[in-house]
Structure 1
Amino acid sequence: MKNTAYRTIWISDLHLGSTQCQADILLDFLKFNDSEKLYLVGDIIDFWALSKKMYWPRDHNTVIQKLLRKARHGTQIIYVPGNHDDNVREYDNHVFGDITVKTSDVHTTAAGKKFLVVHGDEYDAIARHHEWVARLGSKSYDILLEINRYLRLLRRVFGIPQSQFSLAAYVKYKVKNIVQFISDYEENIVNTLRDDGLDGVICGHIHHAEIKDIGGFLYVNTGDFVESCTAIVEHTNGALELVKWLKSETTVHDEPQEEALENAVYHS
């Protein structure tokens, strides 16, 4: 499979150091997708999980090596920390292994549109003012993802085709309070930034991938690589696209497949 080259790629919520990280699919994505600039939009390393249990398998280390290799070979990589790796925020504007840490950044597309790139927990009232509630919610979410992980393992053991069903996603879409939280989060971040001379925001944090125009202001969420395995990409003409990376388990060479989510392309 040939590599796809983009102007910019945004990925977030990898949660390396957590059992929930789908590192194999992430490595597939990094292998077959290149870009001039790559944004790591927070929660890249899950220090919350590592503080409870040391978990760092070989493929998590391979992800770090792959990112460093891309940086050495000319990809401009900007690391915007999140709440699970907020200790990295102390190193704003520092460079580590050719990767630049920034608490936020303004990206200008090829079409001249300006987007604030930020993890997004800064605009989440619960994460900012009630960290214990945020940690409790994170733990509950981890339990749902752990159930998903065991279901995937069982399907693999019994040779059952992998399903795209996600218990965590189902709960997010069906539980009224969570649906309202997502809506409130989107509205809050957009209303806060609308008058800052920006055309939109690109964030992560809530693990809900989306490209949405809200009153003329573009809200873009990268999703994650623990549940949806999604990324935002910018084409050479400045168009933004939300892609979902699927690792094929039926082909001999186990080649990945790229699938654009429906109605997820924004043309400037």
Structure 2
Amino acid sequence: MNITTYRTIWISDLHLGSTQCRADLLLDFLKYNESEKLYLVGDIIDFWALSKKMYWPRDHNTVIQKVLRKARHGTQVIYIPGNHDENVRHYDNYVFGDIVVKNSDVHVTSAGKQFLVVHGDEYDTIAKCHKWLAKLGSDGYDFLIEINRLLRMVRRWFGMQSNFSLAAFVKFKVKNVVQFISDYEESIVSTLKDQDLDGVICGHIHHAEIKEIDGFLYVNTGDFVESCTAIVEHFNGTLELVRWHRIESAIAHNEIMEVNID
């Protein structure tokens, strides 16, 4: 498979250090996709999970090495911490191994559009004001992901499609969760739309999206736990949502939804 080169790539919610991280697909994505700039948009390392149980398999280490190698070879890597790796926020503007830590950043596309890049938990009232409730919800989410891992093996055994996500299925069957996603999107847009920006690129809620709200572009990178998604910018300034899956022959391929923002 050929390597695709973009101007910019955004990935978030990798949750390295947790059993939920899809490091296999993440490594495929990093292998077949290059960029001039790479944003790590929060929850890269899951310190919440690591505080409960030490889990760091070899492929998680390989992910870190691969990102560091990209930075050494000229990719501008910017790490924007999230709530699961919030301790890194103390190192705003520090440089670690050619990776720059920033609590937020403004990215200007080649078409001149300005986007605030931020993890997004700052605009989630539950994560901001009720951390204990956020952690309880995180535990429940982790439980669904663990069940989903078993379901994925069973479905693969019976020759069924193995990229089914139980957590995503439940998420869109529970009315309150759907409402939370909608409220989150509207909250972040209403807060930022008067700040001389064209849009926001965030993560946090594990729901990849590119959509316009009141003339403001809301972009969510998704995650590498369930959906395995990323946002990319082509050299003409076009943003795309990439869904990365492994087909049965174990060769990665992508499904792309294009949104022109010119």
Aligning the two structures, in what range does the TM-score lie when normalised by the shorter sequence? over 0.9
Cα deviation, residue 159, structure 1? 5.6
Distance 2:20 2:134 in 1: 17
Give the root-mean-square deviation of aligned CA atoms: 1.0
Tell me the residue number matched to 2:49.
49
Long gaps (5+) in structure 1: none
Residue 162 of structure 1 corresponds to 161
Deviations 1:173-202 (Å, cap 9, x if unpaired)?
111100000000000000000111000000
Native 8 Å contact 1:80 1:103 kept in 2: yes
Normalising by structure 1, report the TM-score. 0.96
Tell whether the 8 Å contact from 2:153 to 2:162 is kept in structure 1 after alignment. no
What is the match of residue 201 of structure 2?
A: 202
Instruction: Give the corresponding residue for 1:112.
Output: 112
- Kindly indicate whether the alpha-carbon contact (under 8 Å) linking 1:211 and 1:266 is maintained by their aligned counterparts in 2: no
1:2-58: per-residue Cα shift (whole Å, max 9, x none)?
Answer: 100000000000000000000000000000000000000000000000000000000
CA displacement, residues 58-113 of structure 1 (integer Å, 9 cap, x when unaligned):
00000000000000000000000000000000000000010000000000000000
Counterpart of 2:260 (choices 245, 258, 266) is 266
Q: What is the letter of the counterpart of residue 49 of structure 1?
A: A
Q: Of 235, 255, 258, which aligns to 2:251?
A: 255
Secondary structure class of the residue paired with 2:172: helix
Is 1:90 aligned to residue 90 of structure 2? yes
Which letter does structure 2 place at the counterpart of 1:256? A
Alignment match, 1:224? 223
Structure 2 length normalisation: TM-score? 0.98
Q: Secondary structure at the match of 2:37?
A: strand
Shift of 1:217: 0.2
Structure 2: distance between partners of 1:29 and 1:164? 16
Q: Secondary structure of the equivalent of 1:174?
A: coil
User: Please, which runs of 5 or more residues in structure 2 have no aligned partner?
Assistant: none
Could you tell me how far 1:155 is from its partner in structure 2? 3.5
8 Å CA contact retained: 2:152, 2:163: no
**Percent same amino acid at aligned positions?**
76
Aligned residues: 262
Task: Give the letter for the 1:266 counterpart.
Answer: N
User: Residue 152 of structure 2 contacts residue 164 of structure 2 at CA under 8 Å; is this kept in 1?
Assistant: no
Q: Distance in 2 between matches of 1:6 and 1:105?
A: 19
Could you tell me which residue of structure 2 aligns to residue 152 of structure 1?
152
Letter in 1 for 2:168: A
Deviating above 4 A after TM superposition, structure 1's stretches of 4 or more consecutive aligned residues are: none
In 2: Cα distance, 1:212 partner to 1:69 partner: 33
Give the letter for the 1:175 counterpart: V
Q: 2:234 & 2:31 partners in 1: Cα distance?
A: 18
